[in-house]
Structure 1
């Protein structure tokens, strides 16, 4: 492997919908709405998976787990992230670090951030010290600020074995 380090970024956005459970970073959160999507629509896990795929030059999550494929209907996004990490690890990559930001007006996510960090780190077999998860409120601005949806952004640095 000629390149010793790779960096990738990922972003994901899903609308909120009544009658769905809210899952962020692999953690189920009590809320009156959940994220709408083909899978469980976990924007944090999706953003991290997309960042990893970007770093290894393997497209995006939709390329590997099409929303038209019934096998992924209501799939656990943590399971999808684990599959993405298996692909990266199989190519000789290990995590340098990952940094994620979740954008949500409500609910307040601070009480859940440590559990999300734990779940995401476990999914990619990383020490929690290499994964950072934070939340940011859009302060009422735009679709996210109105509570129409949630988004997440992630960046990763991978190192060659």
Structure 2
């Protein structure tokens, strides 16, 4: 049976933290604030996979109240979602994501991001798609105060 999951995440940009998106550290004067590495892209993808599995959300599996997840690389969260999929005999068919950010330019980093995402999910890189857009200077994303990510995952799950 084909199941689709959707994920969304957003974090504010703050000074003094690295900007990590898709498991890749991107040069920028600010980074995303959060309990883990605050990688909005991997958080949205993790939620998309968990959603397709009917397995809740990232907060249920990796609560930000648990010190063991402090400053952890979010590739671990995505890899764990992939492990849960395998445990349920599900096949991750593909993932697709969109980043919403005014800066920095993200397109040059897509190949590295797709490679990291594919590795965490155990997928060929051609099953990972990335896009980015601005918020046309509207709202907190448009002011450059945060970055958001939207993601979808398609899984084949045996009935």
Q: Same fold (TM over 0.5)?
A: yes
Is residue 2:34 matched to residue 1:29? no
Q: Residues of 1 paired with 2:51 and 2:76: CA distance?
A: 18
| Whole-angstrom CA distance in 1 between matches of 2:29 and 2:130 | 23
Find the residue that maps to 2:14 and give its secondary structure: strand
Aligned to 1:48: 45
Secondary structure in 2 aligned to 1:118? Answer: helix
Tell me the equivalent position of 2:90: 93
TM-score, normalised to structure 2, is 0.97
Alignment size in residue pairs: 158
Residue matched to 2:76: 79
In the TM superposition, structure 1's runs of 4+ consecutive aligned residues that sit over 2 Å from their partners are none
Q: Aligned with 1:14: secondary structure?
A: strand
The aligned counterpart of 2:115 is 118
1:141 and 2:138 are equivalent in the alignment: yes
Of residues 134, 152, 156 in structure 1, which corresponds to 2:153? 156
Q: Which whole-Å CA distance do the structure 1 matches of 2:80 and 2:154 have between them?
A: 18
Q: Is the 8 A contact 2:99 2:149 kept in 1?
A: yes
Normalised to the residue count of structure 1, the TM-score between the two structures is 0.96
After TM superposition, give the deviation of residue 160 of structure 1 in Å.
Answer: 2.8
Please tell me whether the aligned partners of residues 85 and 92 of structure 2 are also in contact (alpha carbons under 8 angstroms).
Answer: no
CA shift digits 1:91-146 (9 cap, x unpaired) = 01111111100000000101101111111011000011111011111121111000
